[in-house]
Amino acid sequence: MIADADIAPIAALIADPTRATILMALADGRALPPSELAAKAGVSRPTVSEHLAKMLDSGLLAVERGGRNRYYRLAGPEIAEALESLAAIAPARPPVSLREANRGEALSRARTCYGHLAGRLGVGIADRLQELGVLVRANGRYDLVPTEAVALERLGIEPGRLPKREGLIAKPCNDWSERRPHVAGPLGVAIADRLFELGWIERLRQPRAVRLTDSGRDGLRGSLGMEPADLD
């Protein structure tokens, strides 16, 4: 039960600005070396190592080894979903420069969230799948309607072959910029992977940010019937 959960220690860890920056930098599911995380957080290597050790001990992070190097990632998708939910209730931080404003707009338009799509594009796809009857949202989850899954098949996704996580093939993840859910879980990851594979979306230099390509606009209009306004 939630009353038995001791959330204060984890909340205190996340509340530190440097650690929050590190966690958000890892929210797309990648594993990054300490040097890159130090640069993103604007701190020294010794300082970032102290923060990483604390988050590793707490279970927020996991570490992978590649040769002599260590790479840190979020311990699981539930960490990314918790960060997204916190961001959804947090006050917006006003940009202090045009560059920062552009970065914020790029993330709001389309980004990855631990392997699935978020931002206006991700929420737009979630809304359209519900309009088509592919997904039905109830009791805090998405139920897939197999008889209506032809739209997914047009994308090259076979729902029956997708694994389940916690007994679910898809679930809503509250989107911090749109304040509405996008699709998480195995289906959300499959959609993002397929759009990358088709060249319909591509990564930008900014971490997590992605861009819908011209072929992606045509493809989503043809496969899901999405309107141009949903793809801006």
Distances (CA, A) of 154 to 191, 195, 232: 12, 12, 22
DSSP structural state of residue 91: P
Question: Looking at the DSSP assignment, which residues form a beta bridge with residue 64?
Answer: 71
Tokens 């989107």 — which residue? 175
* Same-domain status, 113 and 193: yes
At residue 1, the pLDDT reads 43
At residue 177, the pLDDT reads 87
Establish if 45 belongs to a structural domain.
yes
* Rounded Cα–Cα distance for residues 207 and 214 (Å): 21
DSSP E strand boundaries for 114-209: 116-118, 135-138, 141-144, 171-174, 181-184, 201-203
* Same-domain status, 209 and 118: yes
At residue 91, the pLDDT reads 79
* Rounded Cα–Cα distance for residues 121 and 109 (Å): 6
Establish if 172 belongs to a structural domain.
yes
At residue 139, the pLDDT reads 82
Q: Considering the entire predicted model, what is its pTM?
A: 0.77
Establish if 224 belongs to a structural domain.
yes
Non-local CB neighbours of 57 within 8 Å, separated by 6+ positions: none
Q: Is 116 helix (H, G, I), strand (E, B) or coil?
A: strand
Query: Torsion angle, CA of 111/180/169/230, rounded to 10 degrees?
Result: -60
Establish if 81 belongs to a structural domain.
no
Burial 153-167 (b: 16+ CB within 10 A, else e): eebebebeebeebee
* Same-domain status, 71 and 39: yes
Nearest alpha carbon to residue 10 among 86, 68, 111: 86
* Same-domain status, 113 and 221: yes
Q: Where among 42, 75, 108 does a domain terminate?
A: 75
* Same-domain status, 123 and 196: yes
Single-letter amino acid, residue 170: A
* Same-domain status, 144 and 221: yes
* Same-domain status, 50 and 123: no
CATH of the domain at 23: 1.10.10.10
At residue 3, the pLDDT reads 54
pLDDT along the chain (232 residues), means of 10: 73 93 88 92 94 95 87 90 84 73 85 90 95 90 89 91 85 88 94 96 89 94 84 70
Establish if 88 belongs to a structural domain.
no
Residue 110: domain span: 98-231
156 within 8 A of 174, measured Cβ to Cβ: no
* Same-domain status, 38 and 146: no
Number of domains in the chain: 2
